[in-house]
């Protein structure tokens, strides 16, 4: 399980980037909600420890238990539906006393591990109907369980991850083109249906979030309230920002116009208090982390390693994009956290686990001289 590795293959840059982004997040969280900053610091320390343990544990050994990871994922998602804490009509959290655990965050990583082994096992037959049908069947239970919480944004993210994993695993371009030919018009039809009054495909609050995106002024006092104030906050930061922990009365954050800013709208706090420079630094760090993951995927020793590293990079990049797009009113409100920045121990620890696997993939890179 524990192998001897060459320290020169350890990706110190990836660790530095992740920790730097996490520290920026901790500083912003302290400014947004001082009472939870200590928990986030604890999460970073614990996350780094877990990341390093996983980084030096052979991922090939752990992938032998991919069915166990799949079963654990389903068990967690079922438990949250049965016994989870309900907040604002959504049942997404399990109360672990120390903190509230959101199983869907860990489910993203477990799904990646399951399909990494699944795709490697059937890589020669991936483009056959039987294997593709099986892949879809195994993806449906976790996706539907997350959807039932309800958590539409994570459901969409899981679907995107599933498609990326199949693409990285070697899915045929013909199949991809066929799926896109069906998916694109289907999404347009879906949007046209859910925007009608009386539709039953989405919860009312989910539909209202979509409507608020297309007509924010009409929902300025309700569903578009946070997003409109977020845009104002980011714009008011200008180049250098107003400074962390400032006492300016003109601050959107200080005026409590951003409810729970330490979670989904932490980017608005960064934009207002650290300005364009701070915002650009966060975006650059997210991009560099994703690039490091993709670089590890290119040199992976096998298909499973490629799927793991590329999927974790995609998860961080896409989730980061979606969060920032919400904060800047470029897409409807999703409720997704900003990776390594937003407050939330389950999200933070899950991402550190994912990065740990990427580091181990990098430690077992192919010998280029033998290619």
What is the count of structural domains for the chain? Answer: 1
Identify any residues that bridge with 90 across adjacent strands, giving them in sequence order. Answer: 87
| Nearest CA-CA partner of 344 in 14, 16, 42 | 42
Say if CB 252 and CB 272 are below 8 A apart: yes
Name residues whose C-beta falls within 8 Å of residue 340's C-beta, 6 or more positions apart in sequence.
18, 21, 22, 25, 316, 348, 351
pLDDT of 56 higher than 70: yes
**Residue 12 counted as domain residue:** no
* pLDDT for the residue 94: 84
Nearest 10 degrees: Cα torsion 352, 147, 287, 281: -80
**Residue 13 counted as domain residue:** no
**Residue 14 counted as domain residue:** no
Least confident range of 196-205, 276-285, 358-367: 196-205
Q: In the chain, where do the E strands start and end?
A: 85-87, 90-95, 100-101
Least confident range of 56-65, 102-111, 276-285, 332-341: 332-341
Q: Is the dihedral of CA 299, 114, 283, 41 positive or negative?
A: negative
Say if CB 240 and CB 248 are below 8 A apart: no
Q: What is the pTM of this model?
A: 0.92
Identify any residues that bridge with 85 across adjacent strands, giving them in sequence order. Answer: 93
* pLDDT for the residue 92: 83
| Mean pLDDT (whole number) for 250-262 | 82
> Which one is predicted more confidently, 295 or 7?
295
Say if CB 269 and CB 31 are below 8 A apart: yes
Cα–Cα distance for residue pair 133/117, rounded to 1 Å: 16
Burial class (CB in 10 A: 0-12, 13-18, 19+), 106: buried
Name residues whose C-beta falls within 8 Å of residue 175's C-beta, 6 or more positions apart in sequence.
127, 132
Backbone angles phi, psi at 85, to 5 degrees: -75, 130
> Which one is predicted more confidently, 272 or 83?
272
Question: What number of other Cβ atoms are within 10 A of residue 154's Cβ?
Answer: 23
Q: Is the dihedral of CA 56, 159, 343, 214 positive or negative?
A: positive
| Model confidence band, residue 198 (pLDDT cutoffs 50, 70, 90) | low
Query: In this structure, what token pair is assigned to residue 240?
Result: 């250098």
Cα–Cα distance for residue pair 80/261, rounded to 1 Å: 25
| Mean pLDDT (whole number) for 177-201 | 75
**Residue 175 counted as domain residue:** yes
What is the share, in percent, of the chain residues with pLDDT greater than 90?
61
Cα–Cα distance for residue pair 103/75, rounded to 1 Å: 10
The position carrying tokens 């407050």 is 343
Number of H helices, E strands in the chain: 13, 3
Cα–Cα distance for residue pair 67/104, rounded to 1 Å: 18
**Residue 3 counted as domain residue:** no
Backbone angles phi, psi at 335, to 5 degrees: 85, 10
> Which one is predicted more confidently, 325 or 150?
325
- Range of 315's domain? 34-364
**Residue 10 counted as domain residue:** no
Cα–Cα distance for residue pair 5/9, rounded to 1 Å: 8
pLDDT of 371 higher than 50: no
Cα–Cα distance for residue pair 167/303, rounded to 1 Å: 12
Cα–Cα distance for residue pair 336/264, rounded to 1 Å: 6
């Amino acid at each position: 399980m524990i192998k001897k590795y060459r320290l020169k293959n350890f990706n110190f840059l990836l660790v530095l980037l992740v920790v730097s982004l996490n520290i920026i997040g901790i500083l912003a969280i302290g400014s947004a909600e001082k009472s939870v900053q200590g928990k986030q610091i604890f999460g970073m320390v614990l996350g780094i420890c877990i990341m390093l343990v996983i980084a030096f544990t052979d991922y090939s050994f752990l992938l032998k238990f991919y069915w166990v990871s799949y079963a654990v994922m389903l068990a967690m998602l079922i438990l949250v539906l049965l016994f989870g804490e309900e907040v604002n009509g959504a049942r997404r959290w399990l109360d672990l006393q120390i903190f509230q655990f959101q199983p869907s965050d860990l489910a993203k990583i477990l799904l990646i591990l399951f399909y990494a082994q699944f795709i490697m096992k059937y890589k020669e037959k991936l483009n056959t109907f039987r294997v593709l049908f099986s892949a879809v069947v195994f993806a449906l239970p976790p996706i539907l369980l997350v959807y039932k919480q309800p958590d539409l944004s994570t459901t969409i993210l899981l679907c995107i991850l599933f498609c990326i994993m199949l693409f990285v695993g070697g899915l045929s371009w013909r199949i991809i083109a066929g799926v896109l030919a069906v998916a694109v018009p289907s999404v347009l039809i879906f949007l046209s249906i859910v925007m009608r009054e009386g539709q039953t495909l989405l919860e009312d609050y989910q539909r209202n979030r979509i409507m608020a995106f297309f007509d924010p002024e009409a929902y300025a006092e309700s569903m578009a309230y946070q997003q409109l104030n977020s845009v104002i906050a980011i714009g008011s930061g200008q180049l250098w920002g107003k400074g962390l922990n400032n006492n300016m009365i003109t601050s959107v954050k200080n005026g409590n116009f951003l409810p729970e800013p330490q979670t989904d709208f932490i980017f608005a706090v960064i934009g207002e208090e650290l300005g364009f420079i701070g915002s650009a630094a966060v975006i650059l760090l997210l991009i560099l982390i994703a690039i490091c993951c993709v670089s590890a995927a290119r040199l992976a020793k096998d298909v499973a390693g490629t799927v793991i590293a590329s999927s974790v990079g995609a998860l961080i990049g896409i989730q980061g994009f979606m969060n920032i797009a919400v904060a800047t009113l470029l897409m409807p409100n999703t409720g997704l956290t900003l990776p390594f920045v937003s407050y939330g121990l389950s999200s933070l620890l899950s991402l550190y686990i994912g990065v740990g696997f990427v580091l181990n993939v990098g430690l077992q890179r192919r010998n280029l001289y033998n290619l």
